[in-house]
Structure 1
Amino acid sequence: MFKNLLAKKIEIKAPFSGTILEISEVSDPVFSGKVVGDGCAIIPTSNKLVAPADGKIIQISSSKHAIGMELEHGIELLMHVGIDTVELQGKGFTSFVKVGDHVKKGQELLEVDLEYLKSKGKILETPIIVTNMDKIKKIVSYTGEVKAGKTTIMKITLL
């Protein structure tokens, strides 16, 4: 009975400024079908991707379009900038972190040339996904306009 009162909750802030999109609305079926995990997405209006919480960088794709973080309690979060952006082979992305770095909420991780991505026909939808759902009881995601590093986009309740 008291376990529910003590349930751990983690807040995830927006890694980009922009508009929240429900994960089921993402155009890539791997994300919308929750194959990778659950969460939400942002259509970015800012070119700076910031850390959505304190944590450790555990993965950066060689094409710099995706960053994985480990947050408190072992929660793993994937931020995948755009759809099919791996095809750009890193063009349009500048990384400011490396694997193993400990980062603070709001710290700049990537700079993204959104105009370049659009000029290459890429969809800017950026999924923010919890990949290890075995630790999660519930995810509540929000909608609307968000500010990078400021607005809560998800609340995660741990098992």
Structure 2
Amino acid sequence: MFSFLKKKKTILYSPANGQLVPLSKVEDPVFSQGMMGPGIAVLPSSDDIYSPVEGTVTNVFPTKHAIGLKTKDNKEVLLHFGIDTVELKGEGFEVFVDVDDKVQNDTLLARMDRAYLKEQEKDDTLMVLFPEEKEFPNVEEKDVKASDELFELD
């Protein structure tokens, strides 16, 4: 009856085709130990990266290796492309959004040249992090497609 009183929930979507894995399996302790916050990881099988949430772009890192987002219910989200990719200084990444752009789960945010990352000996794992969250659902390993709904966050 009073649907406007219901708290909006954040739905988390897969940012790419690939395999969903728990963050604890990422081969970098900064991410696997949750130092950047809880979240998920996707071992991508394609170069296209989509928004994992509906919301607004808050930050596009100058090195193009990460994008900050804010959900409609004000959750901070950090989408990080690969491990140690900041060292590439933007090479291997093409970003299609700007700060203040509104995004949906089917919005193409960026393209990551996975072949180039491999040549540079960089891991291409995608991490979706929630720096301000304490609780986070358990993640089961499974194959995912970009924009697949993974779960709701309170």
TM-score in same-fold range (> 0.5): yes
In structure 2, the residue matched to 1:127 is: 127
Q: Distance in 1 between matches of 2:58 and 2:132?
A: 13
Partner of 1:3: none
CA contact (8 A) 1:140 1:156 kept: no
Partner in structure 2 of residue 33 of structure 1: 33
SS in 2 for 1:139: coil
Counterpart for residue 20 of structure 1: 20
Normalising by structure 1, we get a TM-score of 0.87
The one-letter amino acid of 2:142's match is G
Alignment of 1:12-91 (within 5 A): 12-91=12-91
Structure 2 residues without counterparts, runs of 5 or longer = 1-5
Q: Could you tell me how far apart the structure 2 residues matched to 1:124 and 1:57 are?
A: 22
Distance 1:131 1:102 in 2: 20
CA RMSD of aligned residues (A): 1.6
Percent of paired sites with the same residue: 34
Letter of the 1:156 partner, please give it: L
Runs of 5+ consecutive residues of structure 1 not aligned to the other structure: 1-5
Instruction: Report the counterpart of residue 145 of structure 1 in structure 2.
Output: 143
Count of residues in correspondence between the two structures: 149
Deviations 1:81-107 (A, max 9, x none): 100000110001011011111112211
Distance 1:33 1:99 in 2: 29
Which 4+ runs in 1 deviate beyond 6 A?
none
Q: Secondary structure of 2:49's partner? A: strand
